[in-house]
Amino acid sequence: MQKDYQPDLNGSDEIYGQEELIERAKSADALLVTVTDTLNREVIERLPRSIQMIATFSVGYDQIDVAAAQERKIAVSNTPGVLTNATADIAMLLLLGAARGAGNGEQAIRQNTWRNWAPTGFLGRDLTGKRLGILGMGRIGRAVAKRAQAFDMEIHYHNRSQLPEHEEAGAHYHDSLESLLPNCDFLSIHAASTPQTRGIINTGTLQALPPGAIIVNTARGDLVDDNALISALKSGHIGAAGLDVFNDEPQLDPRYRTLPNTFLLPHLGSATLETRNAMGFCALDNLDAFFAGKALPNPVTL
């Protein structure tokens, strides 16, 4: 970027407020943003006329009002594909960590409270032979299914449409969430954040899961109603939750920290050196294409 552009870099990695974003955009032709930069309609309408493109360093783009950008004829791009494997790996880590109570075991070691091996100590749940439901069978959902099949899990999924048979790889399609949920010993969430999916994991959907089901979320925190999930975790209807994303992160609901049946990570889905580099170069490829007058490799459109 420094070779090809004149960047105004955020060297301290602070999260800019809306006024700061607008002010820094005054001397720019494009913005390279992340999931922490909120570009709602108000911000986009106040951006200087010099801004021609917004490239987000992420697959998700729910922090950007794409409709407002298109009205301003501002191009928007994202970075799909390059973080599929890293995020699928984290989903499996969460499945295992939540099922086996790995957080409690790790804390016992660090806090020096582990006294002895016991036949009923730190009991968890097997993955082998269990039913894994996948909500959203895109690239990441399919990568999770592939990994879970190595644990001999039975894969069920709900998607906007059924996949071709060769992409299903033996997974069972459900044409509704209501059909999927009773078939989930584990549920892994991989849907995009949209007005239709926000809060989709709520009291009703949680009650439709079998007692003791385990939930994993590597998608977006706003897909989950925190009050409903915390209540279900406390009652035991949901056996455990493995969460990498949260509402209002990093200021997650503090009650999650106190629950022994949670396994929590600080949004590590794409956090490998290889993946973050690939995301950055993907964002630059989109910028390069735009200013060369070529089609964007990864355009975001409504």
CA nearest 217: which of 173, 175, 265?
265
CA nearest 56: which of 284, 301, 221, 218?
284
Q: What are 241's strand-pairing partners?
A: 215, 262
Annotated active-site residue in 172, 198, 249, 276: 249
174 is known as an active-site residue: no
Annotated active-site residue in 139, 156, 158, 220: 220
Residue 223 CB neighbours (<10 A): 23
Sequence-ordered strand ranges (E) for the chain: 30-33, 53-56, 75-77, 131-135, 154-158, 172-174, 186-189, 213-217, 238-243, 262-264
267 is known as an active-site residue: yes
**146: helix, coil or strand?**
helix
**77: helix, coil or strand?**
strand
Q: What percent of the residues of the chain are helix, what percent strand, and what percent coil, each to the nearest 5? A: 35, 15, 45
* Rounded Cα gap, residues 42 and 155, in angstroms: 43
Sequence-ordered strand ranges (E) for 58-201: 75-77, 131-135, 154-158, 172-174, 186-189
- Where helices occur in 28-83 by DSSP H, the ranges are 41-46, 66-71
CA nearest 149: which of 164, 131, 165?
131
257 is known as an active-site residue: no
Which residues are known to be catalytic? 220, 249, 267
